[in-house]
A and B are shown apart, each in its own frame.
Chain A
């Protein structure tokens, strides 16, 4: 559902180019005169409501927004030669873009707000000193479960294996992507999610086949968000940012990332090599790190902010994400991993997953 709405709004917003029609004419003219245009390519529903218009006013600029719903879609457009000034890809995609020399370094002098970043999102392995990327949102993958049906102890003791507990037959949502499904199986078996070992992959495949046999899980993608918010099933695999939303909507729901480890991911702002307005892009990135923008972003989207002041504010007593365990990203589990893309393995897992489902 979310995807469809995102697509619809995306196409509508693309027409109005992120701008309220009333204010468009004046700033439009000023912007085109000074050639102050920023092309921003972002996930659907992934930015605060007023951030773009405030930026346009403050910098007398015009922002043209486009939206994607997967890293791969963004990559394909970039490959086709489309020019953008700012993108927000995920960690593994930044790694790939860097390997293919498609990004340019950010200008840290222009981005004093880098000092607002939370320590745990800085200097991650895909860009070890943040030369090319500025973290935006971060999160993990875990299980949203109904506290009235499953006790926190039960899920803590069983970990990922609870997704194969016959007690919850027909009562489980799995996430329909090879990366997440195999991450769960590999972690449950104690392997790395980035393995290329045939035996381990085969064991994970068997794990998923057995799971299907035992509990008959339903494989969904974004439908899981509304379904869990409505309490349709006892548990489901959800990204932490979406889980934070579910928890806000439905007080019966709780979030748990099993101790066997999970996938920690982050999305960061980058400037492609062929950007036409890198100067404005740096200003925009700096603007996104301001407290006011970061607050708007995290409250609208529900994903965990990279801004430490805002993080403290919203998780403090009385804050919007106070006691919301999905919002707090753990950093102390050694078994948690960052995903690394491997095209050959991904194709293989994709085919194995459709065989699991069939």
Chain B
């Protein structure tokens, strides 16, 4: 087991299975099909993301460097949270980007109910993304502590 520490963007404690994207997550391309066609598993639809394409994102501990792509990214993330199809948590190795940051804040401010929550931690460092692998168990604890085993 290894422990990492980052900055808390949206608080919460959670335990979930890791899903790792080594490249940036294109939020619109990844979530659009799932939101459009009622896929509760939020299967990643981004053909350009070899790590995630075709994999379930909902309920997973999504580990990534940052999000990329259309500036609709934040509102897509907001919609995923509102519809209960968001990852269990998002763990960024880099400081969070402005699009994901906006989506996370909007969801935290405007949505109510436990089913819309998504703890988010950023600045976990490059080593975090090198260490974590698909299927590992992630536990988020207080104060931005992330356990990976």
Are A and B subunits of one complex?
A: no
* Interfacial residues, chain A to chain B (CB-CB below 8 A): none
